[in-house]
């Protein structure tokens, strides 16, 4: 029996988990269950009461309920890729950049996206988010990827969130000063890897046939 991945196509945390799984695990390594957030399956809530996606249930019964844990698990199954994507010398930097993404940037992103639910203007929240965009752009001005000339876990973990930010106002993003960032994001959006993890699946129901992924 393969591992089970509870996922939601448009969630950036689930995207980063699917990216790592697709990159590192063999074909059909997981059974993907597409979740609708307002109608979460009981089997998900049973294994993970906080019931966020993604959640990976391993064959031995271990439950990984944080996207970064799932990414690291996927890497751990493939030592060569782990060495390349998460080199010891960059580990601290990689995780501290992801921490800013998941913290201040995600917070600004949610407010920028749904500004009408918050106190300040949309421009105010966009400017908050631009602090991170500017920092990423600066890195990408001198290197192809966030940590240097090779892709790392940081690229895979962060680009789904930049994509979401860009989608709030595509015209603004495309006309912005962050040219290196725009190029980097486009590189990911047209990649076979990204396209392969964005396949649409119907909502999973108890008793459905397995949906093998990748
Ligand atoms: N820290 C978690 C965050 C996951 C998360 O917040 N996912 C959102 C969807 S994008 C979710 O499941 N929210 C629960 C809900 O909306 O009920 C992770 O990295 O996996």
Residue nearest to atom 5 of ligand 1 (CA): 52
Question: Which atom of ligand 1 is nearest the CA belonging to 35?
Answer: 12
Residue 21 has pLDDT above 80, yes or no: yes
Question: Which atom of ligand 1 is nearest the CA belonging to 55?
Answer: 20
Q: What's the pLDDT score for residue 179?
A: 98
Which residues are CB-contacts of 177 (< 8 A; sequence separation ≥ 6)?
137
Residue 173 has pLDDT above 90, yes or no: yes
Mapped onto helix, strand or coil, the DSSP state of residue 49 is coil
Q: What's the pLDDT score for residue 187?
A: 98
Other Cβ atoms less than 10 A from the Cβ of 91: the count is 12
Contact 47, 100 (CB under 8 A): no
Which residues are CB-contacts of 211 (< 8 A; sequence separation ≥ 6)?
31, 32, 33, 34, 201, 204
CA of 142 to the centre of ligand 1 (A): 33
Please give all residues whose beta carbon lies within 6 A of any atom in ligand 1, as ranges.
Answer: 8, 11, 13, 37, 52-54, 66-68
Q: In whole angstroms, how far apart are CA 84 and each of 78, 99, 176?
A: 10, 20, 32
Q: Place 1 in a pLDDT band, splitting at 50, 70 and 90.
A: confident
Q: Place 74 in a pLDDT band, splitting at 50, 70 and 90.
A: very high
Residue nearest to atom 9 of ligand 1 (CA): 11
CA of 173 to the centre of ligand 1 (A): 25
CA distance 151 to 212: 26
Taking the model in full, what pTM does it have?
A: 0.98
- What residues pair up with 148 in beta bridges, in sequence order? 145
Residue 71 has pLDDT above 90, yes or no: yes
Q: What's the pLDDT score for residue 13?
A: 99
Residue 198 has pLDDT above 90, yes or no: yes
Q: How many residues does the chain have?
A: 214
Q: What's the pLDDT score for residue 213?
A: 98
CA distance 165 to 104: 13
Q: Which two tokens stand for residue 61?
A: 């019964």
Q: What is the pLDDT of residues 22-33, one digit of tens each?
A: 999 999 999 999
- What residues pair up with 64 in beta bridges, in sequence order? 56
CA of 14 to the centre of ligand 1 (A): 8
Domains of the chain: 3-82+197-213 (3.40.30.10), 86-193 (1.20.1050.10)
Starting at the edge strand found earlier in the chain, the sheet holding 63-64 runs 63-64, 55-57, 3-7, 30-34, 212-213
Question: Which atom of ligand 1 is nearest the CA belonging to 38?
Answer: 17
User: How is the chain split among helix, strand and coil, in percent rounded to 5?
Assistant: 60, 10, 30
Question: Which atom of ligand 1 is nearest the CA belonging to 68?
Answer: 19
- Mean of pLDDT over the chain: 98
Mapped onto helix, strand or coil, the DSSP state of residue 151 is coil
């Amino acid at each position: 029996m393969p591992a089970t991945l509870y996922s939601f196509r448009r969630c950036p945390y689930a995207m980063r988990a699917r990216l790592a799984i697709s990159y590192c695990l063999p074909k059909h390594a997981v059974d993907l269950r597409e979740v609708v957030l307002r109608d979460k399956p009981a089997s998900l809530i049973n294994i993970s009461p906080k019931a966020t996606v993604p959640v990976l249930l391993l064959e031995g019964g271990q439950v990984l309920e944080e996207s970064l844990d799932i990414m690291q698990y996927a890497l751990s199954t493939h030592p060569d890729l782990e060495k390349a994507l998460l080199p010891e010398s960059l580990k601290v930097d990689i995780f501290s950049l992801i921490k800013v993404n998941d913290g201040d940037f995600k917070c600004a992103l949610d407010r920028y996206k749904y500004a009408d639910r918050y106190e300040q203007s949309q421009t105010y929240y966009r400017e908050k988010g631009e602090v991170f965009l500017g920092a990423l752009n600066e890195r990408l001005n001198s290197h192809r990827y966030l940590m240097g000339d090779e892709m790392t876990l940081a690229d895979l973990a962060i680009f789904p969130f930049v994509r979401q930010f860009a989608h709030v106002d595509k015209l603004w993003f495309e006309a912005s000063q962050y040219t290196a960032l725009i190029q980097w994001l486009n590189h990911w959006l047209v990649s076979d890897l990204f396209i392969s993890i964005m396949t649409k699946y119907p909502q999973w129901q108890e008793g459905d046939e397995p949906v093998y992924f990748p």
